[in-house]
């Protein structure tokens, strides 16, 4: 198979994502009072409602509606005041009612977007030919071809259910505004920004968890029996569907990361891909560069990490290219990413479109969200990661990449703001470096239950250490040592440095004496340097450090040696 970069020169990958997020921050399920839980004994958090027992009725969880409205506002969606729940029918034991309660053509949140900044090596996945006019044509044709996304949605779009009052709400669905498509903007350094449109975010209930005993990786093939845990059944779930605007696996990965940072900041979910509270399916098709009709798409499952999302899509793009270049045909099918074998395999083939027999759920009255309700949700939205990143870059003067990383994690951001309070420039950047390089690694290594809040290191300690580093009172190597000591002892770094006599000597007068002594002793090496051997300077700095018993500032030694030898 060809490499991704080579494939994408000739082929355009059209990618859309469907991202399911469990609202794990809520206390109870979507339509009943059962507790939300991830790890409890199977079937211990169930009731007549989530078990779909005869006569049971759903009652919507108001806090779940608040959560999805916040998600919509934070992703630039239009909040639909009038929407309703629909029933989606399929016979499978993971849904006790044999229908899933989900939303119809009008979701709570419609037509949003997120802007991606694609930098570094990831930006190289999008070839130069995929910018400008070609990209505008590509977006317009892909959107036109994907209207409605599925037969059921497009069917529902033509309908006015429950009387005539829906006409206004449905009008937005009738056509896509392809004229207003925004294209990628490339910057001088090779990075680019691209807006990715969001079709909708709708509210639904999760299904039960099934374990197929004896099957490979818990799948049904070859299984002897199947177990069902209804604890998860009825968990509030929001599903975000993007427009087919993504063109590279890197863009898909960045979109998912960005969305995760937003949802975590909103506090609506723990967004754990590992535990399955955030799950992503990828739809991908290929077409020759310049083509305006869409190829047949496949749907990828089991993309349960950012790496899996990227690598699964990359593999599938290369696989499709190989099939097509050999004159083969792509079948519309669902494929399973196998990370261990780095390949996708067929799960099931969709020969006909499923008929889910969607219709408005008569047990749930249509929603009419008030302006007050939406305003109340908006007021509860904290500063979002992008705004925070820009503020950190502006007010603290730290690097954009570091600002982005810190701002994406609410706990890390709070920590940073406390540690960097009153600092700017070098000291603030040093705080950022310590959080990104030292602290994150330390917390991750400390075990799964350790968080920033419980790791024992305080913002004051990090601020103190950053000051020592910024003032060159200790070297960066010493900084790492002091970090470890302060984590162990809980002491203030200044105290550690003083007690252990680690403070660097930066008095040039005192250091010059050492330099003079070393040069006098190492005449041969001095001559080699003068003869053009730059490498020998490191040896001389080492000698100076040794002479100073490690306390001399290595940077100053370097400067003084160069001056003395010139």
Partner 1 sequence: MMARSFDTLTAAEIAAGIAAGDFSAAEVCAAALDAIAAREPEVQAFLQVTPELAQDAAARIDAARAAGEALPPLAGVPVAIKDNMNLTGTRTTCASRMLETYESPYTATCVARMLAAGCIPVGKANMDEFAFGSSTDSSAYHPTNNPWDTTRVPGGSSGGSAAAVAAGMVPLSLGSDTGGSIRQPAALCGIVGMKPTYGAVSRYGVVAFGSSLDQVGPFGRTVEDVALAMDALVAGGRDAYDSTSQEVAPAFAAAAAAAGEGLAGVRIGMVPAFMEAEGLTPEVRRGVERAAQTLADAGAEIVEVDLPHVDAAIAAYYVIGPAEAFSNLARFDGIRYGYQEPGCTNLATQSALSRAHGFGDEAKRRQMLGAYLLSSGVYDTYYYAAQKARTLITADYNAAFAQVDAILMPATPHAAFRHGEISDPTQMYLSDMYTISLNIAGNGGIVVPVGLGEDTGLPMAAQLVAPAFADERLVTYAAAIERGLANGNNGASVLGVAPAFAGKGGELR
> What is the number of helices (H) and of strands (E) in the chain?
21, 17
Q: Give least dist CB 49 to partner 1, A.
A: 8
Binding region for partner 1 (CB under 8 A) out of 5-13, 49-57, 237-245, 329-337: 49-57
Separation of alpha carbons 87 and 405, rounded Å: 40
The minimum distance between CB 444 and partner 1, in angstroms, equals: 42
Of 360 and 410, CB closest to partner 1: 360
Q: Cα–Cα–Cα angle for 396, 401, 402, nearest 5°?
A: 50
Task: Report the distance separating Cα 240 and Cα 109, nearest Å.
Answer: 9
Closer to partner 1 by Cβ: residue 236 or 493: 236
- Candidate segments 83-91, 305-313, 372-380, 450-458, binder of partner 1 by CB under 8 A: 83-91
CB of 280 to partner 1, least distance (A): 27
Total residues contacting partner 1 by CB under 8 A comes to 39
**Which contacts (CB < 8 Å, 24+ apart) does range 323-330 have?**
324/11, 324/286, 324/295, 329/296, 330/285, 330/286, 330/295, 330/296, 330/297, 330/298
Q: b/e per residue, 304-317, with b = 16+ CB within 10 A?
A: bbbebbbbbbbbbb
214 binds partner 1, rule: CB under 8 A:
no
Question: 353 near 151, Cβ under 8 Å?
Answer: yes
In the complex, what is the shortest distance from the CB of residue 140 to partner 1, in angstroms, rounded to a whole number?
28
| CA dist list (Å): 250 to 13, 122, 185, 306, 335 | 12, 6, 16, 10, 20
Select the residue interacting with partner 1 from 3, 41, 54, 379 (CB under 8 A).
54
The whole-angstrom separation of Cα 264 and Cα 384 is: 10
Closest CB 336 distance from partner 1, rounded Å: 20
Q: Considering beta carbons, is residue 82 or 155 the nearer one to partner 1?
A: 155
Cβ atoms 474, 497 nearer than 8 A = yes
Nearest CB to partner 1, comparing residues 225 and 449: 225
Strand partners, 368: 82
The CA–CA distances, whole Å, from 236 to 76, 112, 204, 240 equal 21, 21, 6, 13
Give me the torsion for CA of 154, 159, 160, 162, rounded to 10°.
Answer: -100
Alpha carbon 67 to chain centroid, angstroms: 18
Nearer to partner 1, 222 or 362 (CB): 362
Residue 161 in contact with partner 1, rule: CB under 8 A: yes
> Binding to partner 1 by residue 517, rule CB under 8 A?
no
Q: Taking CB under 8 A as the rule, does residue 122 contact partner 1?
A: no
By the rule CB under 8 A, 365 interacts with partner 1? yes
Name the segment binding partner 1 (CB under 8 A); options: 133-141, 313-321, 357-365, 519-527: 357-365
- 373 binds partner 1 per the rule CB under 8 A: no
State which residue, 47 or 505, has the beta carbon closest to partner 1.
47
Report the residue number, 151 or 387, with the smaller CB distance to partner 1.
151
- Interacting residue ranges for partner 1, rule: CB under 8 A: 48, 51-60, 87, 89, 91, 93, 96-99, 151-152, 155, 158-164, 353, 355, 357-359, 361-365
């Amino acid at each position: 198979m060809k490499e991704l970069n080579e494939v994408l020169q000739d082929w355009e990958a059209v990618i859309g994502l469907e991202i399911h997020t469990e609202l794990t921050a809520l206390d109870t399920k979507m339509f009943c009072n059962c507790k939300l839980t991830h790890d409890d004994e199977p079937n211990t958090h169930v009731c007549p409602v989530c078990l779909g027992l005869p006569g049971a009725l759903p009652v919507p969880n108001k806090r779940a509606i608040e959560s999805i409205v916040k998600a919509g506002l934070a992703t630039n969606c239009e909040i639909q005041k009038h929407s309703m729940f629909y029933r989606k029918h399929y016979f499978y034991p993971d849904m006790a009612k044999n229908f899933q309660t989900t939303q119809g053509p009008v979701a709570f949140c419609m037509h949003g977007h997120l802007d991606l900044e694609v930098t570094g090596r990831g930006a190289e996945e999008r070839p130069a030919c995929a910018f400008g006019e070609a990209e505008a044509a590509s977006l317009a044709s892909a959107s036109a071809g994907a209207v409605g996304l599925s037969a059921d949605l497009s069917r529902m779009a033509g309908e006015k259910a429950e009387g005539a009052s829906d006409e206004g709400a449905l009008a937005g669905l009738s056509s896509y505004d392809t004229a207003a498509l925004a294209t990628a903007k490339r910057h001088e350094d090779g990075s680019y920004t691209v807006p990715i449109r969001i079709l909708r975010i709708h509210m639904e209930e999760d299904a039960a968890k099934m374990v197929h005993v004896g099957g490979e990786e818990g799948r049904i093939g070859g299984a002897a029996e199947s177990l069902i845990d209804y604890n998860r059944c009825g968990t509030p779930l929001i599903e975000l569907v993007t427009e087919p605007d993504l063109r590279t696996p890197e863009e898909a990965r960045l979109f998912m990361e960005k969305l995760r940072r937003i949802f975590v900041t909103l506090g609506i979910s723990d967004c754990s891909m590992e535990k399955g509270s955030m799950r992503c399916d990828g739809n991908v098709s290929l077409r020759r560069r310049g083509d305006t009709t869409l190829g047949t798409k496949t749907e990828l499952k089991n993309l349960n990490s950012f790496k899996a999302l990227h690598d699964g899509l990359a593999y599938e793009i290369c696989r499709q290219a190989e099939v097509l270049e050999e004159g083969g045909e792509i079948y519309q099918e669902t494929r399973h990413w196998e990370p261990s074998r780095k390949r996708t395999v067929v799960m099931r083939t969709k020969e006909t479109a499923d008929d889910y027999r969607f219709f408005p759920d008569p047990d749930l009255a249509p929603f009419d969200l008030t302006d007050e309700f939406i305003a109340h949700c908006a007021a509860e939205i904290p500063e979002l990661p992008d705004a925070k990143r820009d503020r950190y870059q502006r007010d603290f003067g730290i690097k954009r990449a570091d600002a982005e990383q810190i701002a994406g994690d609410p706990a890390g951001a709070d920590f940073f703001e406390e540690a960097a309070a009153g600092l700017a420039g070098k000291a603030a950047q040093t705080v950022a470096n310590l959080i990104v390089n030292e602290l994150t690694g330390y917390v991750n290594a400390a075990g799964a239950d350790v968080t920033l809040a419980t790791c024992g290191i305080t913002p004051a300690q990090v601020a103190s250490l950053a000051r020592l580093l910024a003032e060159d009172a200790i070297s960066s190597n010493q900084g790492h040592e002091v970090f470890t000591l302060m984590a162990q002892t809980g002491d203030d770094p200044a105290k550690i440095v003083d007690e252990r006599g680690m403070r660097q000597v930066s008095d040039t007068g005192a250091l010059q004496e050492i330099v003079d002594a070393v040069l006098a002793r190492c005449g041969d090496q001095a001559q080699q340097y003068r003869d053009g051997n730059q490498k020998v300077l490191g040896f001389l700095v080492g000698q100076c450090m040794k002479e100073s018993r490690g306390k001399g500032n290595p940077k100053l030694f370097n400067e003084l040696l160069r001056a003395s030898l010139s």
